[in-house]
């Protein structure tokens, strides 16, 4: 493969990674903000539903977009996303 083509592909992958990372952080912040606006009972119900979804994801195969051999990383990231929501919302709820 031509060296300039490889550099271009690497640049495209790095750009895509940066974009996805930025969007993920944005969505995490937005979700935490919206989550803390829910009444406590609704927050508890949403968290329970999210935990159930994460548990179910371990039973069912991951989406086809998950590369073979990366299933554990997928499950770990699902669990991490719920933890981030909990931590982010707890911090916001503690603030006066």
Q: Quick check: 46 and 38 in contact, CB under 8 A?
A: yes
pTM higher than the cut 0.85: no
Q: pLDDT (tens digit, 9 = 90+) per residue, 8-56? A: 888 888 888 899 899 988 998 888 889 889 998 999 899 889 888 888 8
pLDDT at 50: 87
Domain boundaries, the chain: 3-94
pLDDT at 1: 58
Characterize 42-70 residue by residue with b for buried, 16 or more Cβ atoms within 10 angstroms of its Cβ, and e for exposed: ebeeebeebeeebeebeeeebeeeeeeee
């Amino acid at each position: 493969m031509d060296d300039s083509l490889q550099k271009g592909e690497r640049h495209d992958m790095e750009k895509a990674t940066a974009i996805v990372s930025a969007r993920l952080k944005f969505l995490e912040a937005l979700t935490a903000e919206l989550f803390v606006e829910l009444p406590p009972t609704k927050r508890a119900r949403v968290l329970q539903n999210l935990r159930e979804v994460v548990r179910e994801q371990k039973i069912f195969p991951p989406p086809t977009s998950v590369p073979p051999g990366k299933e554990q990383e997928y499950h770990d990231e699902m669990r991490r996303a719920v933890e981030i929501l909990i931590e982010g919302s707890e911090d916001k709820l503690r603030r006066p």
